[in-house]
Structure 1
Amino acid sequence: MNLHRRGLLIMGAAGPALAAALPASAKVQAVAPPDPTEVVRLWPQGAPGGEGVTVVPIVPERSTDPAYRDRYAQYTTDPIMTVMRPDKPNGSAMLLIPGGGYRWAVLDKEGFDVARVFAASGTTCFILRYRLPADGWTAGADAPLQDAQRAIRLIRSRASEFGVRPDRIAVLGASAGGHLAGLASARTDAAYAPVDVADAASLRPDLSVLMYPVATMADPHVHAGSRTHLLGEGPTPEQIAAYSLEQMGWTGAAPVFLLHAMDDASVPVENSLMLLTTLKAASVKAEAHLFQEGGHGFGIRLIQGRPAQVWPKLARAWAARLNFSL
């Protein structure tokens, strides 16, 4: 065993007290874990409706701490899923759809960070990097939905390759990603024309987890930025109704788990409350957890030591009662 590795093992066994006693030069700095390397392109022949798209993709890094990453993807033109395979698969899959107000999609806080938690308990995770509505795609507001539906179909059609069950595909969406996950859960119509055999598979998830979701596009509880980036300035009443989750038909949808902080100043908790009322009326199995504090966009890392840190455990317990391992 080399001396460097031996030193790391000694530090791990002795705990924080020894680490604190060491001089700064001898301490090992925490480094964010590497990204998974398995990537699946959603549209091998190119995403549909891109003839007028001229944006150039960027993935800026906002974190200055090497212990964690905080990237966002903007102007995506080649949507992908990054696959995070667990050491001991339990047969379930989860498509993670991070938020970003439909302006961009955060990759770490509500993507890789959350995926690592569920992969640790056996769920095969797929982190979605999706297109954005205002980038010139022919489908406009439906461009992100095309990507979400295509991702679900690819996971289901290639279930044996990924080591998952085709009837155990969950979707987890946060903030605006929660809106997109909600659209994928409620909509029964395909937002794009079939491109290959994978599109014969069902496009709806078997379970939905919506974290502090943007649900309504209507005042007074709308997240104005998400509405503007999704529908543009001054959307019509018809557009607002068509993209408000609480105004959609949910009959026959898969079970839904909602979590939200009461002190969310960005996406008011009424978004989840209104959606919950709609789900109950549609006889959709649903469970909601409202935390006294937590703010918005807490994901995993930003909730440690606060009431909402138990949400993954609550989600797993709920899914287990539905015979679904997360």
Structure 2
Amino acid sequence: MNLNRRTALGLAAAAMTPVSQTVAPADPAETIRLWPGAAPGGARVTVTPRVVERSTDPAFHDRFAQYTTEPILTVLRPARANGASLLLIPGGGYKWAVVDKEGLDCARVFAAAGVTCFVLRYRLPGDGWAAGADAPLQDAQRALRLVRARAAADGLDPARVAVLGASAGGHLAGMLTARTDATYAAADEADVVSFRPDLSILLYPVATMADPFVHAGSRRELLGEAPTAEATARYSLERMDWRGAPATFLLHAMDDAAVPVENSLQLLSALRAAGAPVEAHLFEEGGHGFGVRLIEGRPAAVWPQLALAWAERHGWTGAKRQGSRNA
């Protein structure tokens, strides 16, 4: 795929225009269960899963999934696949995971550009899983491995699997990108392949777990009311080892009142200090949690085109990579 002017204009329209003027689009029919049996460490889990609809407008959904016990991938396949895969990890403050705004809505925009999209519905750390704060990361690592392990059979490139995470999902995607330690025992042959993405896109990410810039709700759900200094450091993205990490794309609005822009700024500094390839876009306005639907007429509405152009330069959409990596 070449990101020409016509493609860019089409993506802008897809990002800023409701998918339907009258009724929300149907959900993709294809889903993939993450685990061959029960998710690991669930012996003490007693929650009952639920999906809540917040939208009162028939033109769009705005759902969140809470108390997930069977994590899944929802697959959205483009009309003409370009070989690239994208794992989308929505936010929700680790209290729930949104389904549409940072999941299916974003997936439809990327699918319009030829990308095969997999939206993750992940387990939450406060629901009693034995892995605690690592339970969502278990699902993210397993999801990335499944996408990569299935790629050849799906006609996709196992070396072009990216992740996109938003808000708390950006924190989870960041851990998936930075950490090299597997958080669960291998379940089947899919767990032989790498769980690290080839590219990482982080939208207004929750990055730090430390005051004064922490998103307190995410920290509380992930680490409890009074986390230790060790836990705070271990789960702060800016404190992780980013040496050798794949290229990362950061996006944040400077008027974000929920997750301060310093989350991205500190992470940007850490990535640069580690010599990791990074591109960052900061917008004067946009607030928090805008996805692709809540920024019509605002500068940040161009972010999908910016992300795709950046990804194309890194060879994700099939074009030749810049620099010595693939020259």
The one-letter amino acid of 2:54's match is: R
Aligned-partner Cα distance in 1 for 2:153–2:60: 31
In 1, the alpha carbon distance for the partners of 2:314 and 2:146 equals: 24
Aligned twin of 1:99:
91
- In structure 2, the residue matched to 1:319 is 311
Matches for 1:86-235 after TM superposition, within 5 Å: 86-235=78-227
Cα displacement (A) at 1:160: 1.8
For each residue in 1:143-186, what CA deviation from the matched residue of structure 2 results, as whole angstroms up to 9, or x when unmatched? 00000000000011111232210000000000000000000000
User: Contact conserved, 2:200 with 2:246, CA < 8 A, in 1?
Assistant: yes
Shift of 1:57: 0.2
Letter in 1 for 2:177: S
2:271–2:277: 8 Å Cα contact kept in structure 1? yes
Matched, 1:281 2:257: no
Instruction: Encode CA deviations 1:265-291: one digit per residue, 9 max, x unaligned.
Output: 000000000000000011111000000
1:12 matched residue in structure 2? none
| Letter matched to residue 217 of structure 1 | M
Instruction: Find the aligned partners of 1:223 and 1:162 in 2 and give their Cα distance.
Output: 38
1:249 counterpart = 2:241:
yes
1:91 touches 1:165 (CA, 8 Å); kept in 2? yes
- Work out the CA distance in 2 between the residues paired with 1:262 and 1:127: 27
Q: Deviations over 1:98-125 (max 9, x none)?
A: 0000000000000000000000010000
1:305 to 289, 297, 303: 297
1:293 is the counterpart of 2:285: yes
1:44 deviation in Å? 2.3
Q: Is the 8 A contact 2:36 2:187 kept in 1?
A: no
Which of 255, 259, 262 is the equivalent residue of 1:267?
A: 259
In structure 1, the residue corresponding to 2:142 is in which secondary structure?
Answer: helix
Contact 2:249 2:280 (8 Å CA) reproduced: yes
* Deviation by residue 1:187-233 (Cα, 9 ceiling, x = unmatched): 00100000111000001000000000000000000000000000011
Matched residue pairs, number? 299
SS in 1 for 2:265: helix
Contact 1:94 1:125 in 2 (8 A): yes
Query: For 1:248 and 1:111, how far apart are their aligned partners in 2?
Result: 26
Q: Which runs of 4+ in 1 moved over 4 A?
A: none
The structure with the largest helix share of the pair is 1
Where 2:164 maps in the other structure, the secondary structure is strand
SS in 1 for 2:153: helix
Q: Which has the higher contact order (CA 8 A, sep 6+)?
A: 2
Q: 3-state SS of the aligned residue for 2:152? A: helix
Matched, 1:51 2:60: no
Contact 2:292-2:301 within 8 A present in 1 as well:
yes
Equivalent residue, structure 1, for 2:15: none
Q: Secondary structure at the match of 1:161?
A: coil
Read off the aligned partner of 1:79 and give its amino acid letter. P
Structure 2: distance between partners of 1:61 and 1:307: 28
In the alignment, is the contact (CA less than 8 A) between 1:155 and 1:162 conserved in 2?
no
Unaligned residue ranges in structure 1 (runs of 5+) = 1-27
Q: Give 1:78's match in structure 2, choosing from 70, 73, 88.
A: 70
Whether the 8 Å contact between 2:122 and 2:140 is mirrored in structure 1 is yes
User: How far has the Cα of 1:304 moved from its partner?
Assistant: 1.1
Q: In 2, distance between residues paired with 1:163 and 1:52?
A: 40
- Counterpart code for 1:192: Y
Superposition TM-score, scaled by structure 2 size: 0.90
In 2 relative to 1, CA 29–240 (structure 1 residues): closer, same or farther, beyond 3 Å? closer
SS at match of 1:60: strand
From 26, 34, 38, the counterpart of 2:26: 34
Listed as ranges, the gaps of 5+ residues in structure 2 are: 1-19, 319-327
Secondary structure in structure 2 of the residue aligned to 1:268: coil
Matched position secondary structure for 1:276: helix
Q: Deviations over 1:30-53 (max 9, x none)?
A: 111100010000012110000000
Letter in 2 for 1:281: A
Tell me the TM-score normalized by structure 1.
0.91
Residues 133, 140 of structure 1: 8 Å contact kept: yes
